[in-house]
Amino acid sequence: MSFEQNQTHVLSLFSKCQNKEEVYQKLIDLGQKLHSSKTYLEEDLVKGCQSTVYLTCTEKQGKCYFEATADALISKGLVYILLLLFNGLTPQEIVQAKPNFIEKLHLETLLSPSRANGLAAVLLKIKQLAMLKL
């Protein structure tokens, strides 16, 4: 699937959310789906997050696959969304992607500044890891 198709899918997950509380509950629900049995290294730590987030990237047949974990459910939900958006894309597609789900879901007004900064930090690390695969 393309980045745009992935983004449409992510937006559809929130289509029934009517208010801030429902968006938060959806993020928590999605966060419960983020599972990782991987052992992470210090270099996998995403700097700039209020919670502890680890992220790695492997490449298979020219496509990037990310694995992550976080210590807070809302952060896990945000990371889960990013994995839905970017897993299975080529490094070039990831670097060129312009995610607008943040604006479309009004996350910039729903998230605390520290959570919004954390989301931006994870997104930046995803793009940096993809650039290393170019």
Q: Rounded to an integer, what distance in angstroms lies between the CA atom of residue 73 and that of residue 117?
A: 16
- Known active-site residue 57: no
The C-alpha angle with vertex 30 and arms to 24 and 104, in degrees rounded to 5, equals 55
Return the percent helix, strand and coil in the chain, to nearest 5: 55, 15, 30
Tokens of 32: 């419960």
Catalytic residue (choose from 17, 49, 57, 64): 49
The radius of gyration of the chain's CA atoms, rounded to the nearest angstrom, is 14
Q: Rounded to an integer, what distance in angstroms lies between the CA atom of residue 132 and that of residue 134?
A: 6
As annotated, the active-site residues are 49
